Every structure is written in C-alpha cells, then in structure tokens.
Structure 1
Amino acid sequence: MTNPDFDLFRTSEDHEALRGAVRAVAEDKIAPFAAEVDEKARYPQEAHEALVASDFFAPHVPEEYGGVGADALATCIVIEEVARVCASSSLIPAVNKLGSLPLILAASDDVKKRYLTPLAAGEAAFSYGLSEREAGSDTASMKCRATPDGDDWILNGQKSWITNAGVSEYYTVLAVTDPDGKRGSNVSAFVVEKSDAGFTFGEKERKLGIKGSPTRELHFDHVKIPGDRLVGALGDGLKIALRTLDHTRVTIGAQAVGIAQGALDGALAYVKERKQFGKHIADFQGIQFMLADMAMELEAARQMVYVAAAKSERQDKDLSFFGAAAKCYASDVAMRVTTDAVQLLGGAGYTQDFPLERMLRDAKITQIYEGTNQVQRIVMARQLLG
C-alpha cells in the first residue's frame, strides 16, 4: 500500500512539466541579458516581460483573483529555474510572493481582490517593508509609525533594504500603531501605493550581488493611508510578518538551490572541455571528488527546500523549523558550491567572461536576507526547545 506521505519526496508530472516550461523561458528570454543586467546594475525588464507573458510573474496568486494558483512547490520551482540563470530576475516572482503573502494570509476579501488581481495580471508588482536602519533582525524595535486620523492613518518613518523598491506599485508596510502597547503586539500592516503623496524612495544601494534588483529605502512623510488598506487586525502586523517569513524563507532556499545548480552546470561544462597534462581535467580524481561533494550537498538542499515547500502548502505546525532550516542550509550550500565552481575554472572563474563569479556574488545575499542564517539558527533552536 502506498504511503501518501512519501509524495513529499517525488515531484509530480505537472511539477516537472512546469520546470521544463520555466527553464525554456529562462534560457531563451532571461539568460541572454543576465551578464548585462549585472554589469549595468539595471532592472531586468526583459525578464519581467517574459515572466508576465508566461504567467510566472506571480504564480502563487490564487485563481479566484485571476492567478494561476501555483502551489508552494511549483512557485519554488519557478524561482529555482530562473535563479539558475539570473538571481536578480528570480527576485521578481520571489518578492511578489513576499510582498503579497500578508494579504493572502490575513487581508479582507476586498483588499485581496483590489491588490492581488492586478498583481496576477502582471500590471503591478509587490514589495515588502519590514526592516529599518536600526531594526533589522530585531523587527519589533521598528520606529515607523502610523497615527490614527479619523478612519484613516498618517504614516511617518522609513524602511530599509526594500527589494524592487521603485519598480513595485504596491508595498506591504509594517508600522507601530500603538506606541504604548505591548512590544510585538503594537504593530499593524498596511498597503502603501507608489502614487501616495509623501511616499518617496532613497537612492539605489550599491551592492555586491543581485545588482539587477533595485534595493532602496522607503520614506514616508505624512503619508495618508485610507483605513480600508489595513491588512489583518489592528496590532497583528508582526504576527502576520513572521508567519509570512515562515513561508517565504522557503522561496529563498529555492533561489539558493537555483544559483548553486547554475554554478554546478557551468563548472561541469568547463571541466569536460578544459585539458591539462594531456587529458580533460574532469578525469582527475581530485576534480571528481569536488564535483561529487557539490552535487551531493546541492541535492540535499533541494530536498530540504521541497519538503519545506510541501509543509508550507499544508501550513504544517513545524513549518517555522523547516522553513528556517531549508533557507539556512540551502544558502550555505550555495556559497560552498559557487566558491568551488569558481575554483574549478581557475583563473577563468575569476573573470566576467564566465557567469560563475556573478553567481558567487549573488549567492552571498541568500545567507543574509529574510533573516540572517544566524537568526535562522535561533528560530530552529526555539522550535527545538519548545
């Protein structure tokens, strides 16, 4: 008798068909521009348009709002396959999920319909405003404040490290709504629109990697937010934010797996062609052992991400542990695999003639954002200790 739990470890035919479709789009429409996107630190508009045209722009949006209703694993596969050729471009579907998931988890039907429908249609992108200059890992210490104004709110403050800021039309922003309230229960979530008066952006950050994805500060100067843009209940913002991260850390794990796969693919192609001492360097046992370790750790990371994605889809109680573990392990693996891939190419790996050095730089951020890997270990330990 088949145990249905074992389906965790086998992707369906639909998932593999999806992988093939995304890979074709990524290789044809995204990969040719990846180097230029990185070199010029420009937004990957070609990828944006290709993802919209193929319904991979925000595949997680439920069908009732015009989306394709991709499950958590399918969304991870989209992100993984895009990241395999361009990490900057993979942040388009990843951050669309991050920015809009608080609505899916907690917003009213009216708010969901108003904002998820244009997202699903590819007419608007979504970003997420949680971190601040002095409130990174310690999110509860945020200073951004929303003050009541009749039925509406006045938003003042700033947010830092916001992915795709300036490109996205919509932003889920967390702000303190009860300054005297209990820490962690005094924050609420709102949707801010790019066109709101008083809402501006800082300069683009100059970054080590993911250069094609603009990262900016958000600035709020007496921004009036209609009361009907509240996401979830008043005071539930931080709870919603943490629930969101439990799910979206899995997508960062998927991004890390994609980057690592792209690096392994590049290294394999090179060692099969490069000759030294009269034979292909792939024939040397030392090289073979490196490749074996890279592939072994990559497959372990992929399985962790896929299991976590299945748990995300079911909203299992142990998702916090598995989401943190998948993100942490996969991103650490991505750093090791990309570092070894550069090593396998020798001097060539250190040049921009090959994409490996870009992948190494891109991999680093996966250990940092959506919670540093030190924070992931805190999350896991808390789950273990009850």
Structure 2
Amino acid sequence: MSVMMNGMRHLLRSAARPACCGQQWTRCVGGVGQLVAEVETALAGGKLLERGSPMYSQLNAQVHRLRAENDQFVVDVQNLKKARAELVAEEARMIAKIHADGQSGHHGSKIVETLKQIEDLDRQMAMLRSQQVQNVRDVGLLKRQKVTIEKSEEVMKLERQVQEALGQAEPVQEDGPLATSIAEAVQRLRDEFDANSVSSAEAKKDIENAVSRIRSSEMSLRVRRDKADPTSDALRASLISGLYQVRRKNAKLSQMRDMQAFNAQLVGVLQRARHSLSRKAEVQLLVAAGNKEHIKVEINVMLRDIQMLQKVTEELEATQAKHADEGAEVTTKLRGLKTEVTPETGLLRERLIAALREEEFCMARLAVLRNVQAQDVKFLAELEHALAK
C-alpha cells in the first residue's frame, strides 16, 4: 500500500504538468490574442494579407503548437485516469470493509488519505481539461483568422485587377473574365452568408431552450437554497452546466455574426469593383462613339453623383464626430471608476466599445466614399477631355 501511495504522490506532482504553465502559459495565451488583434488591425487598415505572409505563417505555427499541447494533455489525463482507477478501487474495498466491520476502525485514516488523493487527481484533470478547452477555443479563433485572410486575399486581388484594368487604355470588358470572377466570388460569399443565417436561427432556438432549462434549475435550487446535500449539488451542477452551455452557444452565434459582417464587407468591395468596371466600359463606349450630346448627359449624371456622394460624406463625417465625442465622454467616466466592477461600469464599457466600433465603421466607409469619388472624378475628366476635342 505504501509503495502505491508514494507512486500516486509522485504522479500528482509531475504527471499533469502542462507544456505551458505559470508565466510561460500566460505568454502563450497572450501570444494568440495579440496575433488575432494584429490580423484584425491590419484588415481594418485595408492592408493586403496573403497566405504566404509572415502573419499567416504565425497563425499556422500557433495552431500546430496548441494542437501539440492538447495531444500532451490527452496523454497526461489518460495517465491520471489510470492512477485514479486504482485509487477508486482501493476506496471501494475500504468502504466495503467498513460496512462489513460496522465501524471505520484503523481504515479511517487510510480512506481519508485515499479520498484526498482522488480529489487531487480530479482537480488536476479539471485543470488540464480547462487548459485544453482554452486551447480548442484558441485554435478555432486562429483558424477563423486564417479563413479571414484567405477570403480577404481573394477579394483584394480581384479589386487590384480591377484597378489595373481601370488604369489601362485597353477597352474594358463589362462581362469579361474578370467580371465573371467577381460575380462568382460574390455568389460564394452570399451563399455562405445565407448558410450562416440558417445556422444562426437554429442557434438562437437552442439558446432559448437552454435558457428555459436554466430557469427551471434555478427555481428548483431556490427551493433548496439553504440545503447542502447531493440533490442540491446536482441541481447546482446542472445550473452551472447550463450557463456554460448558453455561453458556448452565444459565442458560436457571435462568431457566425462576425463572419456574416465580414462577408457583407467583402461583397461591398466586389460590388463596387464590378460597378467601376461597368462605369469604365460605359465611358469608353461614349468616348469611342464621340456623340457630344450623350457625353454631356453622362457628365451631368456624374456631376450629380459626385455631389450626392459629397453630401453623404459630410453626413458621415458628422456621425463619426458624434461617435468620437461619445467615446471620449464614456472614457472620462470610466477613468473615474477605475477600481469598480459594477453593472454601471459594464454598461459604460459596452457603450465605449460600441462608440469605438461605430467610429471605425464610419472611417472605413469614408475611405470607400473617397475612393469612389476619386474614381468618378477620373471618369469625369475622361469625358470632359473627349468633349473638348
């Protein structure tokens, strides 16, 4: 017995040691979060990220590292389970002996030590599973960033091809291969958007059902509020499990909404690129035909469009300024509540994030509008040049 106990003590000290622990573990987790933030920041700034970029390689490296860690966690858990099975068997034998003798006798101290070791093993396995869950989440987050880069690369390359076509003197084919590639990419993004809409609706139903079960567990637990017995523990465990289930499903729903938002942004980029191709083809046809009356009509249309875009831009500038002011105001309030964690600070922080995000969206839209205006001015110059001949 003493040999087995000594072996168990050694296992408790060493078998469940994770690949990244303490400060090193914190740095690993921070590395994932920082890398994801860098990808999002680069995309928000309109930078082209490609599969062959260092950032994409770092995402791959992090995924491989986390999967290797999880493989080791699985091995560690299996080793702990084997040790635990021996202890549980010993526990059963000692409990049976107590029942047979009708008293604990000299078995009391031994069974207490055995139960403590089982408890320690359970906590070790819980720790490993918790770290494994975090790694699984991080792998999913990293993979989504990889997909984001892949989609962005495809769309940005198509947009770049459009810009190159617009800058050349050769005739632009409105329904040529480039336009076809854009249409196909748009359709893929829309199909994925629709699929996520269906999945989101299903997820919302699952969340509603889970919330209903949580309320039932909560009401049952309230009846036994002052009791500490197996039934109360089971109800509390059910409540906690349900809360985590809702948390997981909400996270999944949030991920699908994020993907839908990104797809919508990419569709917008492609639609504007396709519109520019079409507009360029129209301008070229007008210039080639040389009909000055038709050119004048198109010039008036473009002047009207430029004026309308300017009005939209001014309104968006005002909206952006409003969000910026709100962000500054909320930041000041939060600075006055530095040490507090209350519902009020939670609401303020939510307002701050919303203001910052909306300001980000405004700036992105303003950049798009300025780009469209610049392109329209170029088209206008081409028509005016043709009219002056």
Q: TM-score, normalised by structure 2?
A: 0.27
Q: TM-score, normalised by structure 1?
A: 0.27
Please identify the structure whose Cα radius of gyration is greater.
Answer: 2
Which structure dedicates a bigger proportion of its chain to helix?
2
Which structure dedicates a bigger proportion of its chain to strand?
1
